Structure 1
Amino acid sequence: MNLNPKTTRIIYSITIVLCFMPFVSPAMALIAGLALSFAGLKNTGFSKFTPLVLQAAIVLMGFGMNLSQAIQASKSGFFLTASSVTFTLTMGLLIGKLLGVEKKISWLIASGTAICGGSAIAAIAPVIRAKDYQISFSLIVVFILNAVALLIFPFIGHHFNLGQEVFGMWSAIAIHDTSSVVGAGATYGPQALEIATTVKLTRALWIIPLSLLIATVNKDDQKGKVKIPWFIALFVLALAAAHFLPHWEPTFDHLNWLGKRGMVIALLLIGTNMSLKEMKQAGLKSLLLGIVLWLLTGTLSLSLLMNQVFGI
C-alpha cells in the first residue's frame, strides 16, 4: 500500500490515540502494529521513540504496585519463587541453545515465562538491546500460551481437586501475565485469587535483580562495560514513592494507568517495526522453546505443589 507520508502520519496518530481507549488490549495493539507493517505503512518518525515509550511505561507502572503486599507474600513463598525463577531462566537458556534459538529471544521468552510475561519481556528488551522482531515474536509466544493457560488451568485444577491455596500458587508460577493469573484465580475461588495475585506481585519484583543480572552478563563487547538499565532505578523509586507517600495514591493511580496505556502504545510501535522476513528469521524453534519451557514449568511446579514439597 503506497500512501504519502502525511496520510501515514495521520493513520499512526489516530491509532496511537485509540491505544488510550480501555477496550484496546496489549495483544490488540501488537496485532494492529503488525497489520500496519505488513500493509507497508511504516513511519520511522514514530517508531524511533519505541525504546523511550517502553521504558517510561515500565517506570510508570511501578506506581501501581503494592510494595507491602509483595513483601508480605514473599515471606511465605520466597524460596519457591526464587527456585522457580532460577530454574525457568536456566532451562530456558539451555533449551534455547539446544534448539538453536537466538540468544536474545531465549532471554526474552525465559524471562517472560519466569516472571510476568509481557511486562518482563518489555523490561528486559532494552537491557539486552533486543531487536523489534525479537521482542514481537517473544510477545506473540507469551500471548498465545497466556490465553491457553487462562482457559485450561481452572479445568486442570478441578480435575486434580486442587485446593484454592495450591491452585493460587500454581497459577502464579505457571501462567505468564498477571491479568490471566488474576482471571484464573477469580474463576477458581476467592482464596485462590488472593494468593495468586500476591504471589504474582512478588514475582514481578524480580524484574529488578534480573535486569541488573542481565546487564552484567551482556556486557558491551567493544568497551567491556556493563550497560546499566537506569530506568530500573526509576522503577524502584516509583515503587518507593507509592509505598511511602500513600496520600498521593490518586495521583499514582493516574500514573499507573498512563503506564499501562504507554505499554499498549509501545507494543503497537514494536509491531510496526516487524516484517514477515524477520518473523521467519525467528523461526518455529522459538515457538517450540516457549511451549516446551511453559509445559516444563507448569508440570513440574504442579507436581511439587501436589506433593507438598515446600510445605504448602
Structure 2
Amino acid sequence: MQVPQFDGVVTPAAEVAVDMLFVPVFQDEGDGPLNAIPGLESASAGWIAQVRASGEFRAKAYEFFIVPVAGSWKATRIALVGAGRRADLTSERLRMIAASCGYTARLRGVTSAAVLIREGFDPVATAAIMADGLSAAEFEIGIYKADRTTEGRYPAKLVVVAPGAGLAEVRAAVARGRVIGEAANQARALANEPANVLSPREFAARVAAMGTAAGLTVDVLEESRLRELKMGLLLGVAQGSVEPARLVVLRYEPKGTAGGPVIGLVGKGVTFDTGGISIKPAEGMDRMKNDMAGGAAVAAAICAIARLGGRHRVLGVIPMVENMPGGKAIRPGDV
C-alpha cells in the first residue's frame, strides 16, 4: 500500500495544485467565504454565490458542495464543506470536518486533496488538527471484505493550506498531527480485528512490534512470570480459556529525565469478554471483542509520545486475557 504524503503550504488557495480543494464554510457568515478568499467566486463560475443564495448549500456541519474550477486556480475542483455555526466550533469539530473531507476525497478516488485553514484561526494549532482528521479516512475498516472497491481510494497526497503563516511551523504542525492520526488508526486497526485473530498472544506480539518500532523498551510477561509475580486475578480470568494470559509493559524513557515524573497509562486488554460463568446476554456479544480497545489506545498513545519526542517518562501496562466460560473458569467467590 502506498504511503500517503502529507504537507503544509502557506501559499494562497488559488496556487494550490490538487484534485480537490476543501474550503470550510460557516452557517452564520453569509458571504464571508466569498469576501475573505480572493477569487473564490470567479473560480466557481458564480456557483458558490448561487447555491448559497438558493439554500442548496446551507453550510450545515459535514454538508458538501463540489464544483469544477473555472479560471486560473490550480485546483481541479473546489469542495465547500459545511462547518456549522462558528460559535459552536471546537477542536474536535475541526478534526471531524477534516475527517469528512478525507472520506469524501477517498470515496471519489481523488489522488490529491487539500484543506484550507480559514482566517481567524491559529494556523499552527489548526494545521495539526486538520492533519489528524485527514488521517482518519486512511483507516481500512473492511480488511476482510472480498470486495473493497466501495471504500474508494485514499489520496496519495494531502495538503493543509495556511495562507500567510510560517512555513516551517505549519509543516511541523502537520507532521505532528499526522503522527497523532496514525496512532489513532493503529488503535482502531487493533480494535477492528475479530477475537479469533487477535488472541492475547497475538495482541501482545503486535503491541511489542509497535513498541519496538517506536524505540520503546518492551517486556512481555508470559504465564510463568505472572505466577512468580502472584498475579492471580489476571491468571484467574484467563483460566477458562485455552488462550494464555499476557502482560505487556511499555517504557518510554527519554534522555535526561531520570528522577523526573512518570506518567502511567493502563489499558484493558480483554480480547473477548463473554463474562465468563456470569455470561453476558447474547445481544451485543459480538461487540465484546472491543474490550481490548483500552489496551490498544495505551499502546498507540505511548508510541505516539515516543515519536513526538515527549519530555517525560511514560509507563504503559496492558494486561491481555480472553474471558471465556469453561470447566476451569473462575467462579464468583473464588480466591
Q: TM-score range by the shorter chain?
A: under 0.3
Higher relative contact order, chain-length normalized (CA < 8 Å, sep 6+): 1
User: How does the TM-score come out when normalised to structure 2?
Assistant: 0.21
Name the structure where strand makes up a greater proportion of residues. Answer: 2
User: How does the TM-score come out when normalised to structure 1?
Assistant: 0.22
